[in-house]
Amino acid sequence: MKFFIDTANLDQIKEAQDLGILDGVTTNPSLMAKEGITGKNNILQHYKDICEIVDGDVSAEVIATDYENMVKEGGELASLNNQIVVKLPMIKDGVKAAKYFSNKGIKTNVTLVFSAGQALLAAKAGANYVSPFLGRLDDISTDGLNLISEIRDIYDNYDFKTEILAASIRHTMHIIDCAKIGADVITSPLSSITGLLKHPLTDIGLDKFLKDHKKGN
């Protein structure tokens, strides 16, 4: 299972990279804006900076919503670094653009996926990643994990190579449940990744070991 971090914050990306468990980064226009990264040149430079920190795939989302401009913008993003994965919205032109990039050997991540049918189309278009938004479904009283499970079944039935990238992760249990279902990748805020470290019995046990060691010396 791959671990991606879902942020454009360079310090958090560095912290996850330093932990030694990071396989990649996902961003979106909201995450870029949250870091105050605006204007085309600054945004492109920020993607380059992220690629300097990590070794793996870095999803960079297009702003265009029509096929021609998606292809143009995606091509520009892909030319920044071979780690860049062009992130495309799950709309008709996004599916067409995914097929275009797939034919060119450029990696894609189809995002804003909320149904099994959408995930099926993304796989048919040859997307490398499909991003179902777990937390946002949970937010509207719909079982996000059930969607991940449905997509897993469908992809396994036909041996689709598209990787399920569980997005909109909100807490540690989402990560654990995604691992049980067999999601290929989770993309998560740093807090949910580091949350996996925590167990009170680990802290109590370590404290006792260190105290006993001190007594014996």
Q: Is 167 in the site for ligand G3P (CB under 6 A)?
A: yes
Contact residues for 40 (Cβ-Cβ < 8 A; gap 6+): none
Quote the least distance from Cβ 70 to ligand G3P, whole Å: 18
Residue closer to ligand G3P by CB (options 109, 149) is 109
Quote the least distance from Cβ 207 to ligand G3P, whole Å: 35
Q: Is 128 in the site for ligand G3P (CB under 6 A)?
A: no
Query: Cα angle at 139 between 157 and 161, to 5 degrees?
Result: 20
Quote the least distance from Cβ 187 to ligand G3P, whole Å: 6
Q: Which of 96, 136, 152, 171 binds ligand G3P (CB under 6 A)?
A: 136
Nearest to 105 by CA among 76, 134, 80, 126: 126
Quote the least distance from Cβ 208 to ligand G3P, whole Å: 38
Nearest to 122 by CA among 85, 68, 157, 163: 163
Spatial distance between the Cα atoms of 208 and 168, rounded to a whole number of angstroms: 38
- Furthest-apart CA pair in the chain: how many Å? 72
Q: Which of 12, 28, 149, 192 binds ligand G3P (CB under 6 A)?
A: 28
Beta-sheet strands, E only, within the chain: 2-6, 24-26, 57-61, 84-89, 108-113, 129-132, 163-166, 185-188
Q: Can 107 be counted among the known catalytic residues? A: no
Q: Which of 3, 4, 5, 6 binds ligand G3P (CB under 6 A)?
A: 6
Contact 175, 196 (CB under 8 A): yes
Residue closer to ligand G3P by CB (options 28, 128) is 28
Question: What length does the chain have?
Answer: 217
Q: Which of 3, 5, 13, 26 binds ligand G3P (CB under 6 A)?
A: 26
Q: Is 114 in the site for ligand G3P (CB under 6 A)?
A: no
- Residue numbers at the binding site for ligand G3P (CB under 6 A): 6, 26, 28, 133, 135-136, 167-168, 187
- Residues recognised as catalytic: 87
